[in-house]
Chain A
Amino acid sequence: MPRPTSERAHTEWMVTPVGAGPVTRRVVLGIVAILTLLFLIAPLALIFSSALSQGIGTFFNSLTEPGTQHAILLTVTTALIAVPINIVFGLAAAWTVTKFVFPGRTLLISLIELPYSISPIVAGVAYIFVYGSQGLFGPLIEAMGIKVMFALPAIVLASMFVTAPFVARELIPLMQVQGTDEEEAAVTLGASGFATFMRVTLPNVRWAVLYGAILCNARVMGEFGAVSVVSGNIRGQTTTLPLQIELLYQDYNVAGAFAAATVLTAVALLTIVIKVVLERISPDHAQAPARPPGH
């Protein structure tokens, strides 16, 4: 007799499943509802209510304040540089580890995922020891007149460190499942490597690329620890939006801090909405084993 699939098994309950009794169900759902209201919903509600507490006029004034405007511009610039590079890296990394078998493949996968396990503060400090005046290349690049530390390049580099696995991690499980048959067929029929990639591989993984990219974008825009270390927090110059929030908060400009926070909260909520939509339109992606991201 064939084993019933788990889907069928769920509909074939002969007895009440554990925890499905009306009392247990209500108690468990009640506890979860209360905890979620206090722990996950209240912070979100507070951000919007605090930002608007002094009226919509103050809210928009806070957002158009030069410091905040500059922070938004810097954050968007950083994302526009870091995210496309991350997509290229993610595609290359996933292509390497899923389409080929070679010694050191497992090690390479571990390396790709390594930044998840490292605190952003450690990443930031590590960058100081490369490009800072005390660092390996600091004196050299200083002599060449290039400014990396406490400027846009360092902010982009640190963001690229913390988000390195974002696109690759979405692609690897999916491309693993898809295998190499379609690419092998294309190449055997005479397609070039580039044509195979563009016409066979990319269409198969386009939703996963988009998914990884929006998660990467949210993280780049919201990164605090690593960017805080490498940017030097120079007011009006290297303050990204998350750093601007801290700055305004330290200036006791709470309304301004919350106004800036609503922008990032909106990005976060939009990211979640796109994620839900992508999971619906791309059932393939839902099949890939879900694994929570790290730092």
Chain B
Amino acid sequence: MRRSVIPGFGLSLGITLFYLGAIVLLPLCALILKASDVGLAQLWGILSSPRTLSAIRVTVTMALAATAFNAIYGLLLAWVLARYQFPGKRILDALVDVPFALPTAVAGLALTALFSKKGWFGVPLDALGIQVAYAPLGIAIAMAFTSIPFVVRTVQPVIEDLGSDVEEAGRSLGANDLQILWRVIFPAIFPAFLAGCSLSFARSLGEFGAVIFIAGNQPMKTEIVALLTYIRLEEYNYQAAAAIAVVMLAMAFAMLIVTNAVQAWNLRYLGRGDV
């Protein structure tokens, strides 16, 4: 350690380690310890049960659908906020923060009421024969709502930083708008876009509050992994709860590694590898 003239290292490190140890690491270790008590055969039995597999399938599929929607809508939002001047721009920018600021239970309640058979959107959708609330589609919509800011806030600063020189170079070489968009702009924002999408996907995998309101929560149909963990706990089936929670933890770590790798690539791409 480089000697610093600034005092207080011991105290501040102590507070930091105490909080992290007692609040964050202790419970995670207890969870992993509990799951390691479960024998391998039993663990396999819990995880390969049709209900668990179905919950994993529903969660992953709907998280992918939500991320696909957010990829498009988030990219458009980021583009509009970064490149256009228009009345109400500040309000739109603030609205992007709503899904993060709004509690997930409130979001879930509102989305359910919107898409229920008597709701503002439910009535016309029902006439078309599309069911959203209490159906898998509702899960995807709740996941998309709670994770949309990830894509916008990751991509927006990168579009803002794009220099005009490369675009002008492309133009002077005879490229049209679509060619510049596809060959000049998109490659430059792609790493950030991918990072935003992976953050959105990771968040969707773990989302609970918003989803359980709208999902209907039928086992084998609209039950997500997070809810199944909760149900196993309420049934006092601690081993199953621990096993499924550890799988969620492993998925979160995997997504964290993917996101960090993409973000490192993103920073290298921007020439800010030293950050």
Contacts and interface: CB of A to CB of B under 8 A. Distances in A.
Interface of A: 6, 9-10, 12-15, 17-21, 24-25, 28-29, 31-32, 35-36, 38-44, 46-47, 50, 85, 88-89, 91-93, 95-96, 99-103, 108, 111-112, 114-115, 117-123, 125-130, 134-136, 157, 160-161, 164, 180, 183-184, 187-188, 192-193, 196-197, 215, 218, 221-225, 228-229, 242-243, 245-246, 249, 254, 257-258, 261, 264-265, 268-269, 271-273, 275-276, 289-295
Given A18-B180, A121-B230, A95 B12 contact: yes
Interface residues of B, number: 101
B206 A295 contact: yes
B109 A117 contact: no
Contacts of B30: 126, 129-130, 135-136
A42 B226 contact: no
Given A100-B6, A134-B238, A15 B168 contact: yes
Contacts of A223: 103
Given A95-B12, A188-B5, A112 B202 contact: no
5 contacts: A47-B110, A135-B30, A136-B30, A276-B94, A289-B275
A120 B27 CA distance: 12
Interface string B35-68: 0000000000000000000000000000000000
A126 B22 CA distance: 12
Given A119-B206, A120-B208, A224-B104, A89 B6 contact: no
Contact of A290 (B153, B199, B256): B153
A121 B8 contact: no
Contacts, number: 304
A118 B252 contact: yes
Contacts of B33: 129, 136
Interface string B243-269: 001001100110110000000000000
Contacts of A187: 5-7
